[in-house]
Structures are given as C-alpha cells and as structure tokens.
Chains A and B, each alone.
Chain A
Amino acid sequence: MPLVDARDLVIDFPIYGARSRSLKTTMLRAATGGRLAAEQGERIVVRALDRLNFQWREGDRVGLVGHNGSGKTTLLRAVAGIYEPASGAIEVRGRVASMLSITLGMDAEATGYENIFLRGTILGLRRNRILDLVDEVVEFSEIGDYVHMPIRTYSSGMIMRLMFAISTSVQADILLMDEWLSVGDDDFADKAQKRLLGLIGNAKLLVIASHNKDLIRKMCTRVLHLEHGKIVEQT
C-alpha cells in the first residue's frame, strides 16, 4: 500500500492583483452580470503542478530535483496537506513531519526554554513529551545555561542549533525536507548529520527537495525530476 499516492495532481495558484482583491471590483462584477468580468475580473492562474502521477511506498527515499520554480516546494506542501489540489487527488497515509521551516513559531523575546515548548507544541507534541525532551534538546544544542535567556541574545548559530534539535525530536512516518538541514560549525554539523540520519532511518518515507546532486545520489532511492510543474523523469 503506497504511503503517498498522487493521481493527476494539479495545483493552481490564483494571482490576485490589487484589482481583483478589492471588494468593489467583485461587487461591480456581480452587479454588471459578469459582462465586466471578461475585461477586468479575469482570474490569472499559474499552474504550479501539472497532472502529476506517482506512488511512494514504505522505504522509499525520494529526491525532488529541478530548477528554481519547478514546483518542488509546492509539491512538498501538497504532500504536507497545505495546498489542496485544484483537480486530481493526493492521498497521504501516516504522520507527516515537515521540516520546511525549522524556525516557524520562534519568538525572539522568549527564552530558549519557552521556545522549546512553543516549537514542540506547534509540532504537535504533548506537554509531557516535551518535558521529557527538554534536557536532551538542551544538551544536544550545546546552549547550556543560555536556555534561560531570551533567544535574541543568542548567536544565529545557537538559534539554529536549538531549533534543529527540537524539530528533529519529532518522530514521523513521512519526513519532508526542503534542502538538507545543515547547521553549526564543523563539529556540530557532523553531530547534526548523524541525528538527521537517525531520524530518517526511523521514518518510513523521506521526501527531500534539493539542488545538490551528490546528496540526492547518496541519500535517495528514487528521483522525481520536475520542470515547470511537470514530471520530466521519474525513477
């Protein structure tokens, strides 16, 4: 049984100018019975993903490749359930953890400790689970006593280490990543890499978008090549 199953998946982005965003224009359109619609109300749509078909199963390590704007991030968001298809369907089974933005929900004025709870909560962890994780996260991120300081006093490296440590504490069936997460100096980067590999090892499915060909070759068992929202090659 596939974990992710896309059938003719289409994602369209409506482009709203100042005009069509305005209530007046819409009301005018309704009042004039749609005659004006052809002139100014036309909705411009950008097709971000065009009839994609794929099936990813347990154990797959999928690499998404393609140029900027080819639809990689949009596809990750569609798998995460953020963008729902304009037509076609995408079925996702299992718990999804998206590593699309590891600093989401971060509050610079709050302490490291508070941020661990905030970030953990957003990721769907229960309070007790976070309490269990705190020590490990603090130790791993090497921030020491700074955990009681507002994170605006941290160096950017410290912030990234902390956020990385929390975000990688979540176990999931399906792991979504936009580029490989790499944080900190050489020593830390090694440690982080190990942790990330452990996380990936525990996940049933990894989907990673990347421009790094070596990484894709090394990490992935399957590759999906997108150009202009279409699949040009799939293995």
Chain B
Amino acid sequence: MKLSSSLHLAVDDLATGLSSVQVWAALGWQDVKQRYRRSQLGPFWLTISTGIMVAIMGPLYGKLFAQDFSSYFSFLTIGFVLWQMISQTMIDSCTTFIQAESFIKQIKLPLSVHVLRVVWKNLIFFMHNLVVVIVVLVYLQIPVTANLLLFPLGVVAFALNAFLYGLIIAVICARFRDIPIIVTNVVQAAFFLTPILWQPGMLGRHAWSVNLNPIYHFLEVMRAPLLGVPADPTSWAAVAAITLTGSLLAVAILKRYRARVPYWV
C-alpha cells in the first residue's frame, strides 16, 4: 500500500508537471526575458556572441587541424551551438531546486515543473542561437536533404533527456551541495572530450571510443541532420537506451526522494 502510493505520487508529479505547460512555459519565458531586460538587442546578444566565437574558432582550429574549411566550419558551428545548449542545461539543472526554493516552500507545484522551466528556458536560448547555424549553412551552401526532417526528433530526444536527467541531478544537488561544482568541472572537461572541435575520424583507429561518450550521441542525432547526412544508427540506439534508463531512474529517484526535497532546499 505504502510502496505503491509513493510510486503513484512520483508518476503523478511527472504527469501533472508535463501537463502544466502554462506554468513552466511562463516561468521559463520569464527567465529569458529577465536576462535581457533593458537591453536593445535582447536575447540576440547571445546569438551575436556565439557568432563571434565560431567566426574565431572555425578558421583557427580548421588551420590547426588542417581541415577542409567548408566541412569543418559547418561541423564546428553546429557542434558549438548544440554544446552551448547541452552544457548550460547540465549546469542549470544543478541549481533547479535551489533556485526555486521560494516556490517550493510557498506553493504546492509538481517538482517536475521547476525542471521543465529550466529545459524550456534553454530551448528558447537555443532557438536564438540557431540563427548562427542557419547563416553558416546558407553561406556554405550545405545541401538540404530529407535527413533534416530528423532534426526536430533529435531535439525532442535531447529535451526529454534534459528533463529526466535534469530532474535526477536537481534532486541530488539539492541534497549534496558540492555536486554543482563537480558537474561544472565535468562539463568543462567534456567540451574537449566530445567531438566538437575535432571529428571522430581524426582519432584514426580509436574513433570507436567516442561511442562511450553519451553526450556524443545526442550531439550526433541533432548535428548530422543539420549537416544533411543521416546520423549513425548506433547513436539513435544509444539515445533510446539512455532515455529508457533515464525514465526508470527518474521515476525511482522521484519515488524515493520527492517528498524530501522541500526539506532540503
């Protein structure tokens, strides 16, 4: 009885959270607006700084790695823009509940609402940065193929996992306050370990090792369609497996610790 009711409450938190679109969309949107209030260009400042970054890094690393400009530049731009979303979501997830303390202590909302707010905010920022990707793809005349249709699916897969793992990280970080620092460091190291600046092929016979990196698979299922090529089926399979694991873990952790979070923050 007791067991099944806590499971029921966990699933209910997820379901109610997901269906409260109005609440998390409004809060996430507010976060976006808040960051760029009183500035003329608004969130497009982010787009500009991303543009400048790839404009500098593209030619530089292209030269360093002696790569064909067009293919390397498009690869780097897309990878970098995607990385900004992935890394920022990971870092933000650590402080989801800590930041939402006043909400959690004053009003009864599903915990998942706070997580979705963070995911939504980062998706909106990503939409702004996508402008840079489009400019580069058009400039380099990367052909549009049917593979592009899989891009939204890749983004949905990422968003779903950002929600599931974001929830897990947020619960852990609410309890153990030194985890956010660890995650920040891991994210920094992951930037170099993930094929963003370099392509898996450059590793030669060690190219298989990128498959051990979960971030690579999410990058691949979003990046390949934009480049007009099909994503490696291995990556789709990995994403499916990671999603399934994440769902089970998220339900398990919510079942066990959902009621504790208000006491921790």
Q: Is the CB of B263 within 8 A of A23?
A: no
With a cutoff of 8 Å between Cβ atoms, the chain A residues found around residue B177 in the complex are: 21-22
A118 to B25 Cα, complex, angstroms: 10
Decide if B15 is an interface residue (CB 8 Å cutoff): no
Min CB–CB distance A11 → chain B (angstroms): 9
With a cutoff of 8 Å between Cβ atoms, the chain B residues found around residue A34 in the complex are: none
Task: Kindly identify, within residues 31 to 64 of chain A, every residue whose CB is under 8 Å from any CB belonging to chain B.
Answer: none
Min CB–CB distance B43 → chain A (angstroms): 14
If the complex has contacts A98-B106, A100-B106, A118-B26, are A82 and B179 also in contact, measured as CB distance less than 8 A? no
Q: Is the CB of B178 within 8 A of A23?
A: yes
Query: Which listed residue (B30, B103, B262, B263) contacts A104, Cβ 8 A?
Result: B103
Q: Is the CB of B22 within 8 A of A121?
A: yes
Binds B, one of A105-113, A135-143, A199-207, A224-232: A105-113
Decide if A126 is an interface residue (CB 8 Å cutoff): yes
Decide if B3 is an interface residue (CB 8 Å cutoff): no
If the complex has contacts A23-B176, A101-B102, are A121 and B34 also in contact, measured as CB distance less than 8 A? no
Q: Using an 8 Å CB-CB cutoff, how does the interface string of A87-130 with B read, 1 for contact, 0 for none?
A: 00000000010101100110101100010011001111011000
With a cutoff of 8 Å between Cβ atoms, the chain A residues found around residue B103 in the complex are: 104-105, 122
Query: Which listed residue (A13, A83, A110) contacts B33, Cβ 8 A?
Result: A110
With a cutoff of 8 Å between Cβ atoms, the chain B residues found around residue A121 in the complex are: 22-23, 26-27
Interface size for B (C-beta < 8 A) is 27
Decide if A144 is an interface residue (CB 8 Å cutoff): no
Q: Is the CB of B107 within 8 A of A122?
A: yes
A171 to B34 Cα, complex, angstroms: 30
Q: Is the interface of B mostly helix, strand, loop or mixed?
A: helix
Query: Which listed residue (B34, B259, B263) contacts A107, Cβ 8 A?
Result: B34
Decide if B105 is an interface residue (CB 8 Å cutoff): yes
Decide if A26 is an interface residue (CB 8 Å cutoff): yes
Min CB–CB distance B121 → chain A (angstroms): 14
Q: Is the CB of B23 within 8 A of A82?
A: no
Q: Using an 8 Å CB-CB cutoff, how does the interface string of B1-45 with A read, 1 for contact, 0 for none?
A: 000000000000000000000110011001001100110000000
Q: Using an 8 Å CB-CB cutoff, how does the interface string of B229-264 with A read, 1 for contact, 0 for none?
A: 000000000000000000000000000000100111
A150 to B30 Cα, complex, angstroms: 13
Query: Which listed residue (A77, A81, A118) contacts B105, Cβ 8 A?
Result: A77
Q: Is the CB of B104 within 8 A of A22?
A: no
Min CB–CB distance B96 → chain A (angstroms): 16
A174 to B109 Cα, complex, angstroms: 16
Min CB–CB distance A21 → chain B (angstroms): 5
Q: Is the CB of A80 within 8 A of B108?
A: yes
With a cutoff of 8 Å between Cβ atoms, the chain B residues found around residue A8 in the complex are: none
11 A-B pairs whose Cβ atoms sit less than 8 Å apart in the complex: A13-B263, A21-B177, A26-B176, A84-B259, A104-B102, A105-B27, A110-B33, A110-B34, A121-B27, A122-B27, A126-B22
**Pairs A-B, 8 closest by C-beta atoms:** A84-B259, A109-B37, A81-B108, A101-B106, A121-B26, A23-B176, A104-B106, A21-B177
User: Which B residues fall within an 8 A CB radius of A?
Assistant: 22-23, 26-27, 30, 33-34, 37-38, 102-109, 175-179, 182, 259, 262-264
